[in-house]
Structure 1
Amino acid sequence: MEEMKAVRLHAYGGPENLVYEEAPRPEPAGDELVVRVHAAGVNVLDWLLGEGGFEHFPDVPLPWIPGWDISGVVEVVGNGVSGFQQGDSVYGMVRLPEPGNAYAEYAAVPASQVVAKPPILDHIQAAAAPMTGLTAWRALFDEAGLQRGQRVLIHAASGGVGHLAVQFAKAVGAHVVATASGSNREYVNSLGADEFVDYREQRFETSVAPVHAVIDTVGGEVQQRSLDVLKRDGVLVALPAEVPDEVKAEAERRGVRTRHFSVEPNADTLTKISRLIDDGRVRPTVSSVYPLAEAHAAHEEGRAGHVRGKLVLDATTVAS
């Protein structure tokens, strides 16, 4: 069996348990592609699961290869796959809720979960888009039902989900109120935000007019406070943290709704996102790029918080 370089998780805990080493190179099942990974996106989910933070994650034997966001080039096409050929550039969020195996030189991926990479993006940029893009899209449009002319409050607007949510909401003609630290004011405004609230200097619930929807990636007391700015029959979409029972009860008393979900691969939605990217209306932000061998350092930066946009691993730079 051929080998490749990969990053594998050998024990649950911190980034020190990520080991860059030789691993078996995958072979495709009939409905799969083997992709030569050029870049892998780093998501909050990556280190939360690495820490054993999600009890509902399947019981997968260690070691396993983390990562769900990939961008790369098709190397091998499974015998049951049509619509792809060797040499195609593709990207996507793959296999969740199973291990995605993205932190590697090669990954076998379900062909139904990847789409053509937007030509306007390089692989590093493309790897920053799938999970956060699918999350932001579902939160705004499937859960909140956001429409043109409605007002939406997006918390942590400079982060992975937030910076894409701002752009998606503006693309459909919504009015966007964004919260972030003051150091991100210029950046968030450049994404198209109509109003900006520095959460360190202002309490959003006293400075924001009522909104139809709140997209909250912060959790904690921000969820409770967000109820104060929702119009009647408005909706609070919370992720990744679930909505506590007491917040649900208070929301019901006020006549507003709460939503929570786990993101899933969705090629149809990713194709819609790709169109916005190709049209120049959406652009993922890459904060830092690390060689694949330094995945542990990327996780350390991510866990420290306050990343603008996304962290990405470059899988084309292979250490010995």
Structure 2
Amino acid sequence: MRQIVIPEFGDASVLELREAALPEPGEGQVRVRVASAGVNPIDFKTRSGQGFVANAIRDHLPWVPGFEVAGTIDAVGAGVDGWQKGDPVVGMTGFPRAGGGYAEQTLVRADELCRAPEGLKLEEIGGVPLAALTAWQGLFSHLGLQPGQKLLILGGAGGVGHFAVQFAAQHGAHVVTTGSGANEDFLHQLGADDVVNYEQEDVHDVCYGLDAVLDLVGGEAGKAALSTLGEHGKLVTVPTVTAQAIKDLAAEKGIQAAGYVVEPDTDQLEEILALLNRRDAELHISAAFPLGDAAAAHRRQDDGHVRGKLVLQP
């Protein structure tokens, strides 16, 4: 079988397509023939040697990236109940250290998987788990978002952001999000009430008294968004590289702020898949790439401004 490996940290050109022996599932594992694997910012940050995953794997290169897949089970290990060959599945895989999604076939813990609904395409929904769970957990586990609250999402058109806009709107929040002029119509179609065009205005000049901020951008944008919160408002930030700086500034100002890292959760993922299957939310695929074009996918992601998700289709 073929897989993409990171032999050393660097730019997208370091990614290599290699032949590997077909892995056999161990206790509690299944082998999945991958129909789609999501490409996420954490993948290219890890490839470039940044972040907590890179620190964890730097002595274990070469390493296969990819933390979300969809496909069909083609082998079942000992001790696995409820799954059999041919079952369509989707889930986060190997997070945060094992990875393995950028491959034609990969080993996954059986308890990390959900059954893929018949109405969703396996060639696409590998782009759902990590991004959608990041949005879901940020909104509901960490912000405790309530209907009627005013929420700002920084970066609403991206992979996590386009899910967050939809989930928050479905939940009855008043959704404000930042985006480029080219994405304004897209964001309104997803359910955003207001779009702040960051090319023309600063969010802290037009937003104030908000209940919650979901920061998917980090850095100076995350710091600036602190001033949009009301007295009891809270910000949660996703990019781990700048999370501490944002939390430190928030503490100086007496503002609630926290960082978080997504966690695999099949119960939450099943709720999300049900929303998608009912067409109450949608996955937007900006582009799909063959496995051998993983470097091109990373360059596209590196350039930023990706609308929705990128996927590999082995």
Q: TM-score, normalised by structure 1?
A: 0.93
- Supply the AA of the counterpart residue of 1:9: I
Partner of 1:199: 198
Partner of 2:48: 51
Structure 1 position 180 matched with structure 2 position 179? yes
Whole-angstrom distance in 1 between the partners of 2:164 and 2:123: 20
- Supply the AA of the counterpart residue of 1:287: S
1:10-49 matched pairs, under 5 angstroms: 10-49=7-46
Whole-angstrom distance in 2 between the partners of 1:76 and 1:86: 6
**SS state at 2:56 partner:** coil
Structure 1 position 262 matched with structure 2 position 261? yes
Instruction: Tell me by how many angstroms 1:120 deviates.
Output: 2.2
Select between 6-15 and 132-141 the one with higher mean Cα deviation: 6-15
CA deviation profile, 1:58-93 (whole Å, cap 9, x unmatched): 445222211111000011111211111111111111
- Supply the AA of the counterpart residue of 2:36: A
Contact 1:243/1:260 (8 A) holds in 2: no
Task: Identify if the C-alpha distance between structure 1 residues 160 and 246 changes in structure 2 by more than 3 Å, giving closer, same or farther.
Answer: closer
- Unmatched runs of 5 consecutive residues or more in structure 2: none
1:287-306 matched pairs, under 5 angstroms: 287-306=286-305
Identity %: 39
Instruction: Tell me by how many angstroms 1:254 deviates.
Output: 4.3
- Supply the AA of the counterpart residue of 1:240: P
- Supply the AA of the counterpart residue of 2:76: V
Partner of 1:91: 90
- Supply the AA of the counterpart residue of 2:30: L
Whole-angstrom distance in 2 between the partners of 1:124 and 1:213: 34
Structure 1 position 239 matched with structure 2 position 238? yes
- Supply the AA of the counterpart residue of 2:71: G
Select between 268-277 and 203-212 the one with higher mean Cα deviation: 203-212
Partner of 2:109: 110
1:146-185 matched pairs, under 5 angstroms: 146-185=145-184
Instruction: Tell me by how many angstroms 1:244 deviates.
Output: 5.6
Superposition misfits of 4+ residues, deviation over 6 angstroms? none
Whole-angstrom distance in 2 between the partners of 1:10 and 1:58: 11
Contact 1:125/1:285 (8 A) holds in 2: no
Whole-angstrom distance in 2 between the partners of 1:28 and 1:192: 42
Equivalenced residues, count? 312
Partner of 2:207: 208
Select between 56-65 and 88-97 the one with higher mean Cα deviation: 56-65
CA deviation profile, 1:149-180 (whole Å, cap 9, x unmatched): 11110011000110000011011111100110
Partner of 1:318: none
Contact 1:189/1:196 (8 A) holds in 2: yes
Partner of 1:307: 306
